[in-house]
């Protein structure tokens, strides 16, 4: 991941740009918008995993974003575009509650705190009726036009979502290659060592939390406008917006740049298909499959698809160049699945020197 090969950026972007010109089917476009939203949230989620932190709290930021734009629009008449801006700010402020567990706790305890935060916000959203309209939720008015991000066709939604998602990916790439990203990846490998070198790890981790939360808030806000309705059980749903992005990330490859994108593109249509297939009497079966997939995936390919591809590419490369890179997978025999990030960190260290 040292160099970003341009064809890998230009070709998918070009395909995404012209896709709606050929595919005019509204359901296809709907699924595409969902993919874009999930790609954005997963990419945002992934910024925290650069630092080796696993968050299951992104439904909280998503929900805060969704509620911010809806409340401002419906109750205060604020234009949705400004609302999205406010959503980013409020989601980042809302994430500050998690700063305390983030800096005090490591690993599973932080993850649980994030999951609990989602549940707490869901309960608060149901309870605080004067502000959030309670479990009834808020419906945004159908006034159409670009100024209100409300259209009859799905095509404009697609392009706006694409803009947001590309921006998210660009920010993610930029962070990954910036000093912050370098520090984050170092923290993922050995936080104590990094701190001993004089890096303020708490500031680094806090930065990733704020950026990640703000970005997620933007997608929550866009999704609220796209669906026209927000309600506590959907917008603050841990399954939909915390576990799903994490699942996308782990399937694609946690902490890698391409992983979340690959994961979201594969998992979103699959999830929609499962949801439609198992509805009514067999409700719940789709998420049972999710749970099972999660268990199986971490056992079979803890590095995710991207790491899998890379391993294949390495093997092919080694066959051609005569084993000069054969040493690298040696660390992998230790069986630490976080090697994907660690291997990259090794790269990053070399780069740093």
- Residues 197/221, Cβ–Cβ less than 8 Å: no
Told to check if 284 binds other proteins by CB under 8 A, we report yes
Q: Which of 292, 313, 316, 326 binds other proteins (CB under 8 A)?
A: 292
Told to check if 246 binds other proteins by CB under 8 A, we report yes
Residues in 59-118 that interact with other proteins by CB under 8 A: 97, 100-101, 104-109, 111-113, 115-117
Q: At what angle do helices 201-227 and 58-76 cross, to 10 degrees?
A: 50
The nearer residue to other proteins, 30 or 195, going by C-beta atoms, is 195
Residue-level length of the chain: 353
DSSP 145: B
- Residues 213/227, Cβ–Cβ less than 8 Å: no
CB of 38 to other proteins, least distance (A): 17
Q: Which of 291, 313, 316, 321 binds other proteins (CB under 8 A)?
A: 291
Region of residue 150 (left: phi > 0; alpha: psi -120 to 50; beta: else): beta
Region of residue 114 (left: phi > 0; alpha: psi -120 to 50; beta: else): alpha
Told to check if 293 binds other proteins by CB under 8 A, we report yes
CB of 260 to other proteins, least distance (A): 15
Among residues 291, 253, 301, 256, the alpha carbon closest in space to that of 271 is found at 291
- The SS3 assignment for 18 reads helix
Told to check if 287 binds other proteins by CB under 8 A, we report yes
Told to check if 131 binds other proteins by CB under 8 A, we report no
Residues that bind other proteins (CB under 8 A): 52, 54, 56, 97, 100-101, 104-109, 111-113, 115-117, 119-120, 123-124, 126-127, 238-239, 243, 246, 250, 254, 282-288, 290-295, 297-299, 302, 334-338
């Amino acid at each position: 991941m040292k160099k970003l090969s341009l064809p890998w950026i230009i070709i998918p972007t070009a395909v995404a740009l012209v896709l709606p010109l050929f595919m005019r089917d509204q359901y296809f476009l709907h699924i595409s918008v969902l993919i874009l939203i999930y790609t954005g949230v997963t990419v945002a989620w992934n910024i925290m995993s650069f630092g080796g932190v696993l968050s299951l709290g992104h439904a909280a930021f998503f929900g805060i974003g969704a509620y911010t734009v809806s409340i401002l629009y419906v109750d205060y008449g604020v234009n949705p575009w400004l609302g999205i801006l406010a959503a980013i700010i409020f989601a980042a402020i809302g994430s500050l509650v998690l700063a305390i567990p983030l800096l005090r706790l490591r690993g599973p305890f932080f993850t649980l705190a994030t999951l609990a935060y989602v549940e707490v916000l869901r309960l608060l959203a149901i309870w605080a009726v004067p502000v959030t309209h309670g479990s009834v939720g808020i419906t945004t008015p159908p006034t159409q036009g670009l100024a209100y991000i409300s259209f009859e066709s799905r095509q404009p939604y697609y392009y706006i979502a694409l803009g947001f998602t590309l921006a998210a990916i660009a920010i993610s790439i930029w962070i990954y290659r910036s000093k912050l990203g370098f520090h984050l990846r170092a923290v993922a490998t050995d936080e104590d060592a990094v701190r001993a070198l004089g890096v303020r790890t708490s500031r680094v981790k806090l930065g990733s939390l704020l950026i990640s939360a703000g970005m997620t808030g933007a997608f929550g806000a866009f999704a609220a406008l796209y669906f026209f309705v927000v309600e506590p059980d959907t917008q603050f749903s841990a399954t939909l917006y915390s576990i799903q992005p994490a699942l996308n990330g782990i399937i694609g490859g946690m902490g890698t740049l391409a992983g979340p994108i690959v994961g979201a593109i594969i998992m979103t249509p699959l999830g929609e298909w499962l949801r439609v297939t198992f509805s009514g009497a067999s409700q719940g079966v789709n998420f049972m499959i999710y749970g099972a997939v999660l268990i199986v995936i971490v056992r079979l390919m803890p590095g995710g698809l991207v790491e899998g591809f890379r391993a294949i590419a390495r093997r092919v490369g080694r066959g051609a160049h005569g084993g000069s890179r054969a040493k690298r997978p040696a660390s992998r025999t230790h069986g630490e699945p976080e090697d994907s990030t660690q291997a990259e960190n090794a790269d990053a260290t070399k780069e740093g020197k």
